Amino acid sequence: MNAVLHSPSYRTLAALLEYPDATFRAHLAELHDALASAGFAPEERTTLEAVGTWMADSDDLELEALYVHTFDLDSKADLHLTSHLGADGDRNRGPDLIRLAGHFEQAGWALTARELPDYLPVVLEFAATLDDRAARDLLAGAREALAAITARLEETASPYLPLLRLIAARAAPDAPLARPVENVS
């Protein structure tokens, strides 16, 4: 859905967590350019520039394989947030997924048929349509899952760790709000 972006930094974060196929890699330069205008604090921008440089300098197939190994094959780093809640894992995710999808719908934001509402890049895309305080409140609701993913990336020394640390930091209750950015559509 093409919505007005109130917090474009979240769209950039979502993009950096997408599967790094040829389309993703073709847009890495645009992502780099977006860092300057998306309302990131200087230290966030430095972190994200380093992640983008790492991605751009990586071998295409190795980057894809690392992504799959990190997020798809390791359940402890799964980017589906509800898979980190409770001891039952995937068995009781349904009600949480329905609630989250309903929240998106109430806000007038439609998911595509292939997306689950708890997939972190989808949550970040939705957060981009909210003002910064509401976006941080949304992420605060996922704090436990973000901490679990971040901890796993620390254990495996993943190059995605700085990106997840930045997202988790934005979910902290005392995280500073971003400076205002003009609406981009």
Residue 169, classified by CB atoms within 10 Å of its CB into exposed (0-12), middle (13-18) or buried (19+), is middle
Other Cβ atoms closer than 10 A to 80? 20
Question: Is residue 182 assigned to a domain?
Answer: no
In this structure, is residue 133 part of a structural domain? yes
List, for residues 81-127, the tens digit of each pLDDT value. 999 986 655 567 888 888 888 888 888 888 776 789 999 999 999 99
180 or 133, which is more confident?
Answer: 133
Instruction: Say what angle helices 132-140 and 120-127 make with each other, to 10 degrees.
Output: 150
> Is residue 179 included in any domain, yes or no?
no
Whether 13 is covered by a domain: the verdict is: yes
Residue 18, domain member (yes or no): yes
In this predicted structure, what is the pLDDT of residue 76?
Answer: 96
Of the pLDDT bands very low, low, confident and very high (cuts 50, 70, 90), residue 175 is: low
Residue 102 is predicted with a pLDDT of 85
Residue with more model confidence, 152 or 94 = 152
Any domain includes 1 = no
Q: What's the structural domain count of the chain?
A: 1
pLDDT digits (tens, 9 = 90+) for 17-56: 999 999 999 998 888 788 877 889 899 999 999 999 999 9
User: What CATH number is given to the structural domain containing 64?
Assistant: 1.10.3480
**Residue 171 burial class via C-beta count within 10 angstroms: exposed 0-12, middle 13-18, buried 19 and up:** buried
Residue 91 included in any domain: yes
Share of the chain above pLDDT 90, in %: 60
Q: What is the mean pLDDT of residues 149-174?
A: 94
From residue 158, alpha-carbon distances to 6, 46, 65, 66, 99 in Å are 30, 18, 13, 9, 31
- Measure the CA–CA gap between 147 and 154, rounded to whole angstroms: 10
Our measurement of the distance from residue 33's CA atom to the centroid of its chain's CA atoms, rounded to an integer in Å, reads 18
46 within domain boundaries = yes
pTM (predicted TM-score): 0.87
Structural domain containing residue 55: 8-170
